[in-house]
């Protein structure tokens, strides 16, 4: 598993993050407290740059066959550049999307990594044909933005990324994938180094440089590990990333419901709602970690279930998500259809 490379990546990250922090202050890549922010002091961003540098050095040292990784790395370079510019001058959502699609195109058109087909239970294989390219691009962009949107508390996005990557790496080991597993573990070591400085109270943020890069790598590694397989298997990465994807999905629903632009930021993400219920910042991060771990365990179980078992598990998972959404008010404090039904049933039993 080349554990020594993981150790080197961790040590490099530990050493260069203070330098990146000084560099961020020098070029004014800092995050100033705003109304919807949790932190109360000016904090440097660009922590993702340190993660990327440590990852790059690790890739140079990694001895597995890397012949097909160049398109993925160029895509990573594009998305890190996009995040870097955004951390300095705050790009518009349109230009951030251009950078994300450009990175995805490197993977899809140059790297030839696409979702060609899936096997749907009870129906057989569904081939995407010419739609394979746009579907894969949407897949990558969706996961990139999901991790980016949940990056709202110290240590949150980094911890979620580690949990997702650990699950992907574990499943890659079971599938005997000699490339995805070591790359995922190496990236985990880089993120751990960053979390030393980012866990509450943080002295540096990963910024869009980090959240876009990590979202991109999770999306691509999951594609490389689970492409062209069954419908059940292609759902596994979605389940693993259940927390950020659910948060993104319900943010879109919430904004459509209130007729506000989808790209408009608000204080109703899952971490905001948990803190509104009285949890501290550290407690909120740990609670979301627990949710992410449960999603990852479910993803593991899901991948080895029978078709009917997977369907039942998916229904139960959807029900649990709905209950959590209603309880914490992720769509709105008045949105409680199932909880209201359960409350009526309880009242009837009392009478």
Closest CA to 187 of 209, 169, 206: 169
Q: Is the pLDDT of residue 231 over 60?
A: no
Say what percent of the chain tops pLDDT 90: 36
Q: Is the pLDDT of residue 217 over 90?
A: yes
Query: Could you tell me the pTM of the whole model?
Result: 0.85
Average pLDDT, stretch 317-345?
82
Segments forming the whole domain that contains residue 295? 3-350
Average pLDDT, stretch 80-103?
94
Question: Can you say whether residue 31 is alpha, beta or left, with left for phi > 0 and alpha for psi between -120 and 50 degrees?
Answer: beta
pLDDT band at residue 230 under the 50/70/90 scheme: very low
State residue 276's pLDDT score.
Answer: 81
Q: Considering its fold, how many domains does the chain have in total?
A: 1
Rounded Cα gap, residues 90 and 98, in angstroms: 14
pLDDT band at residue 189 under the 50/70/90 scheme: very high
In this structure, of 56-65, 231-240, 279-288, 323-332, the range with the lowest mean pLDDT score is 231-240
Rounded Cα gap, residues 92 and 321, in angstroms: 31
Q: Is the pLDDT of residue 7 over 80?
A: yes
Q: Residue 150 to residues 88, 239, 256, 291, 339: CA-CA distances in angstroms?
A: 20, 16, 19, 13, 25
Q: Is 332 helix (H, G, I), strand (E, B) or coil?
A: coil
State residue 220's pLDDT score.
Answer: 92
Q: Is the pLDDT of residue 190 over 80?
A: yes
Binding-site positions for Mg(2+) read: 148, 208
Q: Is the pLDDT of residue 227 over 70?
A: no
């Amino acid at each position: 598993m080349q554990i020594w490379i993981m150790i080197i990546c961790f040590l490099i990250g530990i050493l260069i993050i203070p330098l990146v922090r000084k560099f961020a202050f020098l070029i004014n890549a800092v995050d100033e407290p705003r109304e919807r922010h949790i932190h109360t002091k000016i904090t440097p961003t660009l922590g993702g740059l340190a993660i990327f540098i440590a990852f790059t050095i690790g890739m140079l040292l990694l001895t597995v066959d890397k012949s097909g990784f160049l398109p993925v790395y160029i895509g990573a370079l594009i998305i890190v550049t996009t995040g870097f510019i955004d951390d300095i001058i705050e790009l518009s959502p349109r230009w951030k999307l251009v950078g994300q699609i450009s990175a995805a195109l490197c993977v899809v058109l140059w790297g030839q990594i696409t979702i060609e087909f899936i096997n749907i239970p009870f129906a057989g294989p569904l081939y995407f044909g010419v739609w394979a390219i746009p579907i894969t691009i949407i897949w990558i962009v969706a996961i990139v933005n999901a991790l980016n949107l949940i990056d709202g508390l110290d240590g949150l996005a980094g911890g979620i990324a580690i949990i997702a990557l650990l699950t992907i790496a574990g499943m890659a080991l079971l599938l005997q994938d000699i490339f995805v597993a070591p790359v995922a573990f190496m990236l985990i070591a880089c993120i751990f180094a960053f979390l030393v400085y980012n866990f509450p109270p943080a002295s540096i943020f990963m910024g869009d440089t980090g959240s876009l890069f990590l979202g991109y790598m999770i999306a691509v590694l999951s594609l490389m590990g689970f492409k062209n397989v069954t419908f059940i298997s292609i759902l596994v990465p979605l389940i693993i990333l259940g927390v950020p994807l659910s948060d993104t999905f319900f943010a879109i629903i919430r904004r459509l419901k209130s007729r506000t632009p989808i790209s408009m930021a608000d204080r109703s993400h899952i971490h905001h709602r948990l803190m509104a219920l009285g949890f501290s910042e550290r407690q909120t991060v740990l609670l979301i970690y627990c949710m992410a771990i449960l999603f990852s365990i479910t993803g593991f179980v899901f991948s080895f279930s029978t078709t009917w078992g997977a369907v039942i598990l998916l229904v139960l998972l959807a029900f649990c998500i709905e209950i959590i959404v209603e309880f914490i008010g992720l769509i709105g404090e008045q949105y409680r259809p199932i909880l209201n039904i359960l409350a009526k049933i309880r009242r009837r039993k009392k009478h």
